[in-house]
């Protein structure tokens, strides 16, 4: 799939190399052109693309384009992408951190685990925290699951529906190690924490029930003082 359209052609310039045209198109105003550019860069991987792809991840406003940028990064050698992504985890820009975490989850390289800190798991930005929860659940080494679960339960009750669902899924991913941590949270003074803990425990026991049903049941339990 190439970069098409008269406006895109003008933006790319006539004398540029294919690599230069694709990289320039990643900043074009039209999101469909940026999407095509990211696809083109991933289809024909080149080490020269990596820095620009990561730079663009930090500022790209459209979710579907960011997802294509992540895909394009996974097409490049991990020896090139991993160090740069780990560097982005220290960025002051929330989107740079969240997108780097998301991309690390797609790479699935265990070497990234030590770079995922409590600060990421408790990041005040919901998108960063959600990405950290998902990535940690994917990369956590054997034996580290209980410690991870203990940190994750401190975030119960946080945010809206999507944020809470992300946390519940991460906790469910850790399977049996979450049982004791969730049990303690069901006794919390904050009803939002209790509700979220109960819903997560139900989702763990009956994943086919769905998150919405689990939350509604948990609300009834909390309202009745259970």
- Ordered per-residue pLDDT tens for the chain, 226 residues: 444 444 444 444 455 667 678 889 999 999 999 999 999 999 999 998 999 999 999 999 999 999 999 999 999 999 999 999 999 999 999 999 999 999 999 999 999 999 999 999 999 999 999 999 999 999 999 999 999 999 999 999 999 999 999 999 999 998 777 788 888 899 899 999 999 999 999 998 888 888 989 999 999 999 888 6
* pTM across the whole model: 0.87
Task: Tell me if 52 is assigned to some domain.
Answer: no
Range of the domain at 179: 142-226
Distance of CA 223 to the CA centre of its chain: 33
Residue 66 belongs to some domain of the structure: no
Neighbours of 221 (CB within 10 A): 16
* Contacts (Cβ under 8 Å, ≥6 apart) of 2: 36, 40
Structural domain contains residue 125: no
Among 26, 32, 33, 31, smallest CA distance to 8 is for 33
Q: Which letter, b or e, does each residue of 79-95 get, where b requires 16 or more Cβ atoms within 10 Å of its Cβ?
A: eebbebbbebbeeeebb
Q: Which residue has the tokens 């003082």?
A: 225
Encoded tokens for 85 = 């992504």
Residue 151, judged by CB atoms within 10 A of its CB (0-12, 13-18, 19+), counts as middle
Residue 226 lies in a domain: yes
Assigned domain for 188 exists: yes
Q: Is 146 within a domain?
A: yes
> How far does Cα 173 stand from its chain's mean position?
15
| Cα R_g (the chain), whole angstroms | 21
DSSP class of 141? P
Cα separation, 215 vs 197, whole angstroms? 9
Contact 71, 37 (CB under 8 A): no
Asked if residue 64 is part of any domain, the answer here is: no
Tell whether 204 is covered by a domain.
yes
* Tally of structural domains, the chain: 1
The pLDDT of residue 57: 97
């Amino acid at each position: 799939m190439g970069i098409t359209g008269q406006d895109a052609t003008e933006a790319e310039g006539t004398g540029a190399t294919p690599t230069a045209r694709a990289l320039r198109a990643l900043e074009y105003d039209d999101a469909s052109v940026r999407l095509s550019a990211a696809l083109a860069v991933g289809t024909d991987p080149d080490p020269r693309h990596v820095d620009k792809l990561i730079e663009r991840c930090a500022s790209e406003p459209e979710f579907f384009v960011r997802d294509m940028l992540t895909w394009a990064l996974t097409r490049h050698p991990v020896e090139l992408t991993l160090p740069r992504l780990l560097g982005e985890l220290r960025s002051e820009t929330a989107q740079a951190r969240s997108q780097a975490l998301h991309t690390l989850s797609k790479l699935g390289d265990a070497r990234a685990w030590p770079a995922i800190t409590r600060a990421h798991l408790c990041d005040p930005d919901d998108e960063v925290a959600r990405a950290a929860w998902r990535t940690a659940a994917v990369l956590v080494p054997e034996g580290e699951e209980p410690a991870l679960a203990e940190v994750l339960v401190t975030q119960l009750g946080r945010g809206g529906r999507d944020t809470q669902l992300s946390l519940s899924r991460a906790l469910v991913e850790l399977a049996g190690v979450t049982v004791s941590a969730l049990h303690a949270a069901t006794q919390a003074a904050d009803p939002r924490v209790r509700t979220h803990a109960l819903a997560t425990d139900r989702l763990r026991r009956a994943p086919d029930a769905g998150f919405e049903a689990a939350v509604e049941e948990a609300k009834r339990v909390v309202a009745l003082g259970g």
